[in-house]
Structure 1
């Protein structure tokens, strides 16, 4: 009788351990799936970051080109203004323009 009780206790313990192992395996599988999903999201985020960096580089290059063109345009206008001012001064019209308030 004692042997049957001991065997029953062992069977119960064995069942309990089997259940705990099954739960641990299920938990491990769930965590593995969650990790794989997180890694996939990281990969997507890295790709998006790379695309954004490329776009940012293109925008910076375009902004630099526009700034250089703007500076060149301002220099050209300044030179033209200086030339026109020189022409007005040499023709004697400069004082007439200043007196009329157009300058």
Structure 2
């Protein structure tokens, strides 16, 4: 019974491992092709990594801009709320003043109508 190992199935050892007696040598052209393939995959992996790094940097920048915008909006909202409180107090004071004027005018009318009846 003979064992056949295709070049694709051959394992390339590294370090101090000894080759087995039954190991089939892998042709140099196959090793070169595999090396080229691995180099290509490494290059593609590095390109993907760099692209992801750029996307992450872009996302961080958008996040920073959004946080700054949120801070500005919160500040503006606080200013608007303070202005609304001042206006509400002014309107309330004006209403109280107008109610006092109306009350005095009604009193004067009541006195005037009482005096005209006499």
User: Could you report, residue by residue, the CA deviation over 1:42-73 in whole angstroms, capped at 9, with x for unpaired residues?
Assistant: 10011011001100110011011101100110
Structure with the bigger percentage of helix: 1
Distance of aligned partners of 1:45 and 1:80 in 2 relative to their CA distance in 1, 3 Å threshold: same
**How many residue pairs were aligned?**
94
Q: Runs of 5+ in structure 1 lacking a partner?
A: 97-103
Normalising by structure 2, what TM-score? 0.72
After superposition, the CA RMSD in angstroms is: 2.2
Q: Greater relative contact order: 1 or 2 (C-alpha under 8 angstroms, separation 6 or more)?
A: 2
Q: Runs of 5+ in structure 2 lacking a partner?
A: 1-23
Normalising by structure 1, what TM-score? 0.82
Cα drift, residue 91 of structure 1: 2.4
1:10-89 alignment, distance < 5 Å: 10-89=31-110
Q: How far apart, in 2, do the equivalents of 1:67 and 1:35 lie? A: 47
Cα drift, residue 94 of structure 1: 9.1
